[in-house]
């Protein structure tokens, strides 16, 4: 029962967010400030993880492909898998751990210390002033981070491809266009959007409606982390299934 | 009457917090609302400024009924009805200047930078604070934060000032200075004030009228002298404490 109440409240919150987007123009300076904050906070960890995801993929695929004498496709296979699946998932988990927790704690603290009430009393809509820039920044930044993570994963793949398989960077990169098709890019971007939309919705909603003082803020951070992790995995399953179904329809 | 509340009721999860409140406040009056924790004092203030909506009842402010107003229509009400919160509720990332200027910018969008500077420094001077405009809230004491919060509210020139436990968590010296400020502001700015508090001594000293709430109802109401002579046990407890 509780879960349905929570879902209903979340949908009403989202309706309010969309209504605010349609009614008012977004405060650009606040939005850019948030994009900068989110991107810089997550960039190093994303780049670091991206590099090692590419490296791991290279090592794993290397041993499999060697058996079939198909090492030449290593770069394409590793990059395609990163774009379609691992990249968006990695960005989502990174953002969930860092930015999701940060945003929900920030909004939650503002709620329990009556800053949100004060904003209303001073004639400003807190959804427009606080929620909207954070909400949009998470979505926009996730694409920037996906791009950065992807570049680093290619670098990781190239490095390990050379070290483990003795493959030149040129050989590795040449295989990419054969595997990374428009549909893989679209699937990656679609997943990235779905994950970041989910994360932005959950962390702003949970933070905005925090109750119960410092303990409540702690509870909010934990429930935000749990809900986003579970939500991301469920959305990943759904989008993978959906993209497969769309792909089958397309080929038939 | 400047403010009139009729049969106001509010419940949370089936628990009655306000159970038929009737209260009238005249122009320029300082009314203290006292009661134990959890008796609905803050809820009463939040209903007046529209942060909460009543379950039933009416709130009349300057002959306008507020209880059914939408969030947008509350905008002008909040301009004339400033609220000082229990926490200083200052915005951590903004300087003292930006905090005080926040409401002024929203309520007076055509104000020039010069006028804004004057409005902010005048408001800070009213609460006896000078030269801290560039500091962040974390760089000043809790008592100063409370005064900045008060300055932020008076900067929008409200006709009504609602104080939610303005002296909670403060030392006796700062408590006295805040109480003096409430009195001075009410006289200098000619505002009508409602102060939610636990401090009976302060209420007797500066309040024009005192209202005692218990279990969501008004159990006693009168001028300080009448309250001193009250026979109600809860009021006597407050007087002894």
Mutation choice for A interface testing from B72, B82, B85, B105 by most A CBs within 10 A: B85
Residue B173: the pLDDT is 80
pLDDT confidence of A8, banded at 50, 70, 90? Answer: very high
CATH number of the CATH domain containing B92: 3.40.50.300
DSSP state of B159: S
Which residues in chain A have Cβ-Cβ distances shorter than 8 Å to B92?
Answer: 115
Residue B37: the pLDDT is 85
Taking the CA atoms of residue A7, residue A10, residue A15 and residue A21 in that order, the dihedral angle to the nearest 10 degrees is -150
Q: How much is the ipTM here?
A: 0.87
Residue A178: the pLDDT is 87
Q: Distance (Å, rounded) from C-alpha A163 to C-alpha A157?
A: 10
Tens-place pLDDT, residues A84-135: 888 888 888 888 888 999 999 999 999 999 999 999 999 889 999 999 999 9
Whether the Cβ atoms of residue A115 and residue A220 lie closer than 8 Å to each other: no
pLDDT confidence of A4, banded at 50, 70, 90? Answer: confident
Whether the Cβ atoms of residue A86 and residue A49 lie closer than 8 Å to each other: no
Residue A10: the pLDDT is 92
pLDDT confidence of B172, banded at 50, 70, 90? Answer: confident
Domain count, chain B: 1
**Taking CB atoms and an 8 Å limit, are B106 and A122 in contact across chains?**
yes
Whether the Cβ atoms of residue B51 and residue A121 lie closer than 8 Å to each other: yes
Average pLDDT over residues B133-137: 94
**Taking CB atoms and an 8 Å limit, are B71 and A125 in contact across chains?**
yes
pLDDT at A11 over 90: yes
- Domain extent, residue B98, equals 3-240
Tens-place pLDDT, residues B81-126: 999 998 889 998 899 999 999 999 988 889 999 999 999 999 998 8
Residue in chain B lying closest to A122 (CA)? B103
Q: Distance (Å, rounded) from C-alpha A90 to C-alpha A88?
A: 5
At CA B89, angle to CA B84 and CA B90, rounded to 5? Answer: 110
Which residues in chain A have Cβ-Cβ distances shorter than 8 Å to B106?
Answer: 122-124
According to DSSP, the residues that pair with B67 across neighbouring strands are: none
Residue B116: the pLDDT is 94
Tens-place pLDDT, residues B174-219: 788 888 888 888 888 888 999 998 888 888 988 999 999 998 899 9
Whether the Cβ atoms of residue B160 and residue B84 lie closer than 8 Å to each other: no
Q: Which helix (H) or strand (E) holds B204?
A: helix B200-206
Percent of chain A with pLDDT over 90: 50
């Amino acid at each position: 029962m509780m879960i349905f109440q929570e879902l209903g409240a979340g949908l009403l919150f989202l309706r309010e967010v969309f209504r605010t987007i349609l009614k008012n123009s977004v405060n650009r300076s606040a939005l850019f400030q948030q994009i900068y904050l989110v991107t810089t906070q997550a960039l190093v960890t994303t780049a670091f993880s991206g590099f090692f995801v590419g490296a791991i993929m290279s090592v794993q695929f290397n041993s499999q492909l060697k058996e079939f004498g198909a090492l030449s496709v290593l770069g394409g296979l590793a990059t395609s898998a990163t774009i379609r699946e691992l990249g968006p998932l990695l960005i989502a988990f990174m953002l969930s751990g860092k930015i999701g927790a940060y945003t929900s704690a920030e909004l939650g603290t503002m709620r329990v210390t009556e800053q949100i009430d004060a904003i209303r009393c001073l004639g400003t809509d807190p959804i427009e002033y606080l929620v909207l820039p954070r909400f949009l920044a998470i979505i926009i930044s996730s694409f920037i981070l996906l791009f950065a993570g992807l570049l680093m994963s290619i670098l990781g793949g190239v490095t390990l491809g050379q070290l483990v398989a003795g493959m030149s960077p040129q050989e590795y990169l040449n295989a990419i266009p054969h595997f990374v098709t428009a549909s893989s890019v679209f699937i990656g971007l679609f997943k990235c959007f779905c994950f970041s939309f989910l994360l932005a919705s959950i962390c702003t909603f949970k933070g905005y409606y925090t109750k119960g003082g410092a303990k409540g803020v702690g509870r909010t951070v934990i429930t935000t982390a749990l809900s986003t992790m579970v939500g991301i995995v469920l959305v990943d399953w759904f989008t993978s299934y959906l993209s497969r179904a769309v792909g089958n329809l397309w080929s038939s | 009457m400047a403010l009139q509340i009729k049969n106001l009721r509010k419940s949370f999860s089936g628990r009655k917090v306000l159970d038929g409140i009737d209260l009238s406040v005249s122009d320029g009056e300082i009314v203290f609302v006292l009661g134990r924790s959890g008796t609905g004092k803050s809820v009463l203030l939040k209903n007046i400024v529209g942060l909460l909506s009543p379950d039933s009842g009416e709130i009349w402010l300057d002959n306008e009924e507020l209880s059914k107003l939408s969030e947008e229509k509350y905008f002008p009400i909040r301009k004339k009805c400033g609220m000082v919160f229990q926490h200083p509720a200052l915005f951590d990332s903004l300087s003292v200047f930006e905090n005080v200027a926040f409401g002024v910018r929203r309520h007076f969008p055509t104000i020039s930078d010069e006028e804004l500077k004057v409005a902010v420094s005048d408001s800070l001077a009213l609460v006896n604070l000078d030269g801290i405009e560039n500091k962040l809230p974390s760089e000043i004491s809790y008592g100063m934060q409370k005064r900045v919060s008060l300055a932020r509210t008076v900067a929008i020139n409200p006709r009504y000032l609602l104080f939610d436990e303005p002296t909670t968590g403060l030392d006796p010296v700062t408590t006295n200075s805040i109480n003096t400020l409430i009195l001075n502001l009410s006289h200098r700015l000619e505002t009508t004030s409602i102060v939610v508090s636990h401090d009976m001594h302060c209420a007797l000293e500066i309040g024009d009228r005192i209202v005692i709430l218990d279990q969501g109802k008004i159990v006693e109401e009168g001028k300080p002298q009448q309250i001193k002579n009250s026979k109600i046990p809860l009021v006597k407890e407050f007087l002894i404490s």
